[in-house]
Amino acid sequence: GGLHMLHIYTIGSSTSCRRAVKWLKEKKVPFQEHPIDTTSNLSVKTREKLSTDTVKQFLAASENGCDELLAPRSLAMQELSKVMDITRLSLTEMIDVIADHPKMLRWPIAFDDHRQILQVGFNDDEFGTFIPRKLRKMELNNILARLNG
């Protein structure tokens, strides 16, 4: 097929994001990182704003919609729940709120646009799905060689 790319969306304050990026580099998985701006002033020019289109992509690819993406214990969620009932929002409203408050999500968010696979948070077992099949096979053979050695 065409050029198939893994996109990883990260926020600066998250150790899971740093670990995920390091893991992908170590496994030589080609990916594009999108550092998301979590302040509202976009002072850091290298960061991009979380767009409503991206949020829609996340929701479309996630298995159980918002539940998988939201971080209920995050400060952002706690602050928001004081001023609004998140459970009563329409989907469109929810998408706008998420785009404006990226910290209410669990990070990193990795999205394989080709296979429409979404991984929320970092877990090396789950991230294994992003390793190209050729490399996965090599890795499996290495493990088996060690076990039999």
Residue at token pair 């060690």: 146
pLDDT digits (tens, 9 = 90+) for 69-124: 999 999 999 999 999 998 899 999 999 999 999 999 999 999 998 888 899 999 88
Q: How far is CA 140 from CA 20, 123, 124, 134, 137, in A?
A: 20, 18, 15, 10, 5
What span, in angstroms and rounded, lies between the C-alpha atoms of 10 and 33?
7
pTM above 0.75, yes or no: yes
